[in-house]
Amino acid sequence: MSEPGPLAGLRVLEVGHILAGPYASMLLADLGAQVTKIEPPGGDLSRQVSDAYFASLNRGKRSIRLDLGTPEGQGRLHELVRDADALLANLKPSAVHRYGLTYKALRAWNERLVCVALTGWGMDAGDRPAFDYVVQAATGIAALTGASDGPPQLPGYSSADNSAGFAAALGLLAQVVSGRGGQIDVSLRDVMLSQLNYHASAWLNEGTAPRRLGGAHAYYVPAQLFPTAEGHLALFITHDGFWRAFAAEAGIDGFTTMPERAARRHEVVAAVTKALAADTATGWEARLRPLLVPAAAVRALPEALADAPDAVVEAGGHRMVGSPFRVTGYEPEYGPPPRLGEHGDHV
């Protein structure tokens, strides 16, 4: 029998749409928290995308339908807040204020309440539209992505929303652990700038601007994708021991130290590309794995999921990727996503 989740007893209210906020609160629900979505009359906008999309961000939650723009809706919100530990709002700043979803507005009903505002640019930045790809473009992510001689690009998934969701969940828990109520502000902008840590530090301290290197690492060489006889291989050589093992297997001489490889990047990449053409990506992966050299063949998502059956769970008839947290003795129940207003309809 599974033990209670590490967050059992934690009661979280969520007011938000689409991805970042719902993802944050789902991570908490997976760990045993009771999460209640407070949805507007029309429901979370992600319900309009597809059932599978909504389920992937809202499994195991409760749903209460409230019109927060009415006195009745505000009254019910205050009743819910009395018994809650935290409230996470993922709306534009003006809406967070208008609906009274801040600690300042709610402390009269619960001084120990933790309020998290998850916005695009911060609570003091106004209502400038903030969607994942827009934030990636504005914070330097897109400028770093893509071929060195091509245009900037975006990754094929919502990295800003997902990253901000993790950050919001962490900030919420940090304040809960403190035992004090209070306000936590998390913005997609700040999260993505934070994730550019060493790039930002190089510029701020050394005046070294990052360059688009076609996905290659700025410091480690070789650390990028390489074509092979069939498919592409990700090779990530972070120290000289890895290089010695790889070079011996690939039949490459020289370039024995990282500073030399960094200084002669183009020569190293050319030598590695030539050597890897002798085998397929999966062939190289099989050859390098026993040597403990970090390498993997590029796989499409269906292949990746097939290789990781333990990561796939079922929740309410939907198959999806489960929690990234593996807690000894605890197995999440992965309840179904809630029907709109399933646990209370006050519209």
Distance between CA atoms of residues 155 and 166, nearest Å: 18
Mean pLDDT, residues 236-261 taken together: 98
Residue 161 annotated as catalytic: yes
Residue-wise pLDDT tens digits, 263-277: 999 999 999 999 999
Give me the amino acid identity at 174: A
pTM metric for this prediction: 0.94
CB atoms inside a 10 Å sphere around CB 185: 18
Selecting among 44, 132, 161, 185, the annotated active-site residue is 161
Residue 347 has pLDDT above 80, yes or no: no
Residue-wise pLDDT tens digits, 56-65: 999 999 999 9
CB 86 within 8 A of CB 15: no
Mean pLDDT of the chain: 97
233 forms beta bridges with 226, 297
Give all domains of the chain, ordered by start, each with its CATH number: 11-195+312-321 (3.40.50.10540), 223-227+232-297 (no CATH)
Mean pLDDT, residues 157-161 taken together: 96
Residue 29 has pLDDT above 90, yes or no: yes
CB 255 within 8 A of CB 264: yes
Please report the pLDDT score of residue 346 as a whole number. Answer: 73
Residue-wise pLDDT tens digits, 122-149: 999 999 999 999 999 999 999 999 999 9
The owner of tokens 């790889």 is 246
Residue-wise pLDDT tens digits, 196-220: 999 999 999 999 999 999 999 999 9
Residue 1 has pLDDT above 70, yes or no: no
Distance between CA atoms of residues 327 and 5, nearest Å: 8
